[in-house]
Amino acid sequence: MRVTVDDIAKMAGLSKATVSRVINNSPSGVGEETRKRVLQVIKDTNYEYDSRFGSGKVRTIALVQPDITNPFFADIAKAIERSATENGYMLIIANTDYSAEKEAEYISKLITQKICGIILISSAKKVMPEHMIPGKYGIPIVLLDRKLIDNDCFPGVYSDTVFAAFRSCELMIQKGADRIAFISGRSKAFTSAERMNGFMDAYKQYGLDFDPLLIKEGNYLVESGYDAIMELVREGTRFTAILAANDLMALGALRALKELSIKVPNEVQLIGFDNIIYTQLCDPPLSTVQQPTIKMGKKAVNNLLKLIDGQKVDFNTTLQPRLVLRNTTR
């Protein structure tokens, strides 16, 4: 059986956090005698040690995410990598292509690489998937961006997208919109459901007549935003504003509106989600929701490292996004 940091801590009569600091060559917080004691136990137990990074298992974490080509996930990955590096850890990134099956396969394979923890942006549908059985993997897992219903085991870091969606709709309503269309992401994704909730809350609070034809399901890609607008027009569904569940779909919607000679924002207002770099470069520049990607990534890493050290963390951490108003709103 493979020796773990817990085993080393018990044998040395020290905390897991202290052992981790010794293995990670932390310059402070550990006396010389304590350091020698830990190193002797490591030697006696043949604990596997990678000289390139100071240690094997405890110096590598993984990020499992749905789509590395999506600029939002790329920004999060960059923030996580920066924070991991600052704390002396390597980062492995696994891309699941929104497949729960690939997600389960990657997690299992990563465990064999002796990583010490995983940050997971799950591709599973809202509920807890079978491969997320508590204690199955024996390492800490922190959820990021996407909640899982019935999850009472894995702490997570999220953005308050319900309020962000509500506030986006509220702004457009206050600027004259009375029929807001919503281009959702995949219907079974938790983030898409949250944004839908915020969208519906705005309709209820402002007493607008809701038309289910105003909701079109996309897949987070540019083409689905384009197709959603074309379908609305083909059906003859009137709309005066659009909320898209991400910027890529908003950019697709903007292209369709241009082709249809619908003036933005004079005739139709438009808000996206994520504030990716392209939103500043399109014509007109896109109003959007800035998610706190850097803070989310850093907090996820900090929480994971605390769990690795045997410390407790808040079960749910919710950070606040903000509206970035440009030229697609009035």
The pLDDT value recorded for residue 27 is 58
Residue 1 has pLDDT above 60, yes or no: no
Q: Indicate the pLDDT class of residue 51, thresholds 50, 70 and 90.
A: very low
Show the tokens assigned to 212: 């289910």
Q: Higher-confidence residue: 56 or 247? A: 247
Cα 181–chain centre separation: 25
For residue 261, how many other CB atoms are within 10 A of its CB?
Answer: 7
β-strand partners of 322: 290
Residue 212 carries which DSSP code? G
Show the tokens assigned to 146: 């996407």
Show the tokens assigned to 103: 């997600």
Residue 49 has pLDDT above 80, yes or no: no
Q: Give, in order, the Cα–Cα distances in Å from 90 to each of 56, 127, 129, 208, 304.
A: 10, 30, 27, 51, 13
Residues 6 or more apart in contact with residue 79 via CB below 8 angstroms = 293, 294, 296, 297, 298
Residue 28 has pLDDT above 70, yes or no: no
Question: Do 161 and 185 form a contact (C-beta atoms < 8 A)?
Answer: no
Say which range, 48-52, 166-170, 275-279, has the weakest mean pLDDT: 48-52
The pLDDT value recorded for residue 147 is 85
Q: Give, in order, the Cα–Cα distances in Å from 172 to each of 16, 26, 166, 239, 267.
A: 52, 51, 10, 12, 12
Residue 138 has pLDDT above 90, yes or no: no
Q: Indicate the pLDDT class of residue 152, thresholds 50, 70 and 90.
A: confident
Q: Give, in order, the Cα–Cα distances in Å from 227 to each of 39, 40, 69.
A: 61, 64, 21
Q: Which residue has the tokens 């898209």?
A: 244
Q: Give the pLDDT confidence of 198-219 residue by residue, as tens digits.
A: 999 999 999 999 999 999 999 9
Residue 291 φ/ψ, nearest 5 degrees: -85, 145
Domains, the chain, in order of start with CATH, read 5-45 (no CATH), 57-158+293-318 (3.40.50.2300), 161-290 (3.40.50.2300)
Residues 6 or more apart in contact with residue 218 via CB below 8 angstroms = 183, 184, 185, 224, 225, 227, 228, 244, 245, 249
Residue 47 carries which DSSP code? -
pTM: 0.80
Q: Which residue has the tokens 């908003």?
A: 250
The pLDDT value recorded for residue 187 is 75
Q: How far apart are CA 216 and CA 204, in angstroms?
A: 19
Q: Higher-confidence residue: 35 or 202? A: 202
Residue 274 has pLDDT above 60, yes or no: yes
Q: What is the mean pLDDT of residues 249-261?
A: 98
Q: Which residue has the tokens 């970035």?
A: 324
**For all residues of the chain together, what is the average pLDDT?**
89
Q: Higher-confidence residue: 79 or 125? A: 79
Q: What is the mean pLDDT of residues 270-276?
A: 97
Say which range, 96-100, 112-116, 124-128, has the weakest mean pLDDT: 124-128
The pLDDT value recorded for residue 9 is 85
Burial of 49 (C-beta count, 10 Å sphere; 0-12/13-18/19+): middle
Q: How far apart are CA 59 and CA 113, in angstroms?
A: 11
Question: Do 161 and 318 form a contact (C-beta atoms < 8 A)?
Answer: no
